[in-house]
Amino acid sequence: MATLPGVSGRGPAGEATASGVTSMASTGTSSEDPRKFALRVRGVTKVYRTDSLEVLALRGVDLDMLVSELIVLVGPSGSGKSTLLNILGGLDQPTAGQVLFGDLDLASCGEAALTRYRRDHVGFVFQFYNLIPSLTAEENVALVTEISRDPMDPGEALSLVGLEERRNHFPAQLSGGEQQRVAIARAIAKRPAILLCDEPTGALDSRTGVRVLEAIERVNKVLGTTTALITHNAGIADMADRVLSFADGRIAEVRENTRKRPAKEIAW
């Protein structure tokens, strides 16, 4: 996996120390926690300003994401989930607060550092797959590996998501779920430290959606990629190490799953 600045090795996943639900605005782990941090979010607020309107999209978010942790974000539409995901991915910067990736503060660094962070350390998966129709699955993945520092072979990335036999197929020859798995292979082929998924199964039925979740679960386990996934589907939360429930720009509730449900058992 990629080496994080100021962070070495892989923290064991799923070593939940508490069970059940806690209601709190902060999800910081204790300072004695031996596990390593992938990202540390402190007092993050985000205000969107237009000519006549101010929208307070995030109102003070604190979060420690542990290396190799799988976090699911749930909550009503407009509660700030995508805003936080975009900030974690360096696509946007907060109005106030800190977002630490090792020693780099994504909240205050310049555009060039933010671009390097995105290129070297972050994989994105969105609801729509954004594959290039005239390229095969393998060529779509190779677009990323050609510009990466320590990429895996595109075939290896496709194999991780169970599509090695479809490497020469064009997107139009693949189902929606298969196209999304190619998009996951493309996102993880650069061995990112962080994988961010915004409604990755939003356009899929339960059966194909589960295959996509299995691919995310496998990448998280095999590569130790710290993963944050937004979903409207409460059932998907059961595969997470931690579930963050958003309300009105805040993390209103945190649940640790002491027993994670395998993706293949999830249905909706």
Question: Could you tell me the smallest distance in angstroms from the CB atom of residue 162 to ligand ADP?
Answer: 29
Question: Could you tell me the smallest distance in angstroms from the CB atom of residue 114 to ligand ADP?
Answer: 17
Count of residues that interact with ligand ADP, criterion CB under 6 A: 12
Q: Which residues pair with 71 in a beta bridge?
A: 228, 242
Residue 48 touching ligand ADP (CB under 6 A)? yes
Any idea what the Cα angle at residue 12 is, between residues 224 and 191, rounded to 5°? 15
Residue 226 touching ligand ADP (CB under 6 A)? no
Residue 57 touching ligand ADP (CB under 6 A)? yes
3-state SS of 89-106?
CCCCCCCEEEEEECCEEC
Residue 104 backbone zone (phi > 0: left; psi -120 to 50: alpha; other: beta): beta
Question: Could you tell me the smallest distance in angstroms from the CB atom of residue 139 to ligand ADP?
Answer: 32
Q: How many Å apart are CA 170 and CA 79, to the nearest integer? A: 37
Q: How many Å apart are CA 89 and CA 74, to the nearest integer? A: 18
Of 86 and 180, CB closest to ligand ADP: 86
User: What b/e sequence results for 13-35 when a residue is b if at least 16 CB atoms lie within 10 Å of its CB, and e otherwise?
Assistant: bbeeeeeeeeeeebbebeeeeeb
Residue 231 touching ligand ADP (CB under 6 A)? no
Residue 77 touching ligand ADP (CB under 6 A)? yes
Scan residues 244-263 and list those touching ligand ADP (CB under 6 A): 246
Scan residues 84-103 and list those touching ligand ADP (CB under 6 A): none
List residues near ligand ADP by CB under 6 A. 48, 55, 57, 75, 77-83, 246
